[in-house]
Structure 1
Amino acid sequence: MGLLDGILGGVIGAEALSLVKGYVEKHGGIDGVIAELEKTGYGAQVKSWVGDGSNLPISAEDIKKALGSEKLKELAASTGIPVDKAAEYLAQHLPTAIDKATPGGVVPPNAS
């Protein structure tokens, strides 16, 4: 069982869990996701997820912009989820996944 299974397992549906795990694994783990989102202009949101306190939201449209249509299509296709639903799932569950995977604001080594 991976880190995200333990964090999100039983909290979100299998379809959403598969999508979030797939995204994190294909983008270099938690570090890679953080770097990608910061690079695409969503640093404030990501910092709130890693740090203590409230998590700033990210919208499905923001996810689409951050990942780009090709990456999102590939991710959606690999999990069998429609693109719009994939963006919604990531917007809804990625903040919690990153928040829970970074206790005390520290990204564990090789977190995926």
Structure 2
Amino acid sequence: MGLFDDAVPGGNIAKPLVIALGALLVGKMLSGKSSQPAAPQAPQEPEPADTTAEADGGLLGGLGGLLDKLKEAGHGTAADSWVGTGENKPIAANDLGKALGAQTIKMIAERTGISEQELLKQLSTALPGLVDKLTPGGQVPSQEQVASAWRK
């Protein structure tokens, strides 16, 4: 997948990480959900907020939502370095987990079939390079541009 060339150390990432990144950045495109319509059921409770946000671009509202979450959690310097044109600052797996929230991490781990700890380890390694690649020239693209880049 061209998007991951040079964005992730080694450029060759496992399918669970692709699913996890897709769930964060482009929502239902790689959500791991079946495209088959669900069988009719008894009246359902309202969908959780995370599912609603997914329709708008990822579990956190796409790339912009992800960056906002990181900034709100005190990791704005790292997030800004990924968007900027300089060196990408690292983020610890534990810090990333706190920023994204336990519910989001649990949901993605369930979709990918890997442990929450392994998921955070892989995401903390992959996100800096991927966000850097998605933000050439220091500009955050629209959700449509992110989705388009994801399909390449």
TM-score range, shorter chain: 0.7 to 0.9
Q: How many residues align?
A: 108
Equivalent position of 1:11 in the other structure:
12
Question: Does structure 1 residue 29 correspond to structure 2 residue 62?
Answer: yes
Question: Aligned partner of 1:38: which letter?
Answer: K
Extract unaligned runs of 5+ from structure 2.
Answer: 6-10, 26-57, 148-152
CA contact (8 A) 1:8 1:17 kept: no
Instruction: Provide the rounded CA distance (Å) in 2 between the counterparts of 1:51 and 1:13.
Output: 27
Equivalent position of 1:51 in the other structure:
84
CA contact (8 A) 1:76 1:82 kept: yes
Q: Quote how far apart the aligned CAs of 1:11 are.
A: 3.2
Aligned-pair identity in percent equals: 36
Instruction: Provide the rounded CA distance (Å) in 2 between the counterparts of 1:57 and 1:108.
Output: 21
Q: More relative contact order in 1 or in 2 (CA 8 Å, sep 6+)?
A: 1
TM-score, normalised via structure 1 length: 0.87
Extract unaligned runs of 5+ from structure 1.
Answer: none
Q: SS in structure 1 opposite 2:122?
A: helix
Query: Structure 2 matches for 1:60-99, cutoff 5 A?
Result: 60-99=93-132
The answer to which structure has the higher helix fraction is 1
Q: Quote how far apart the aligned CAs of 1:23 are.
A: 1.7
Q: Quote how far apart the aligned CAs of 1:90 are.
A: 0.9
Cα RMSD over matched residues? 1.5
Equivalent position of 2:21 in the other structure:
20
Q: Quote how far apart the aligned CAs of 1:67 are.
A: 1.6
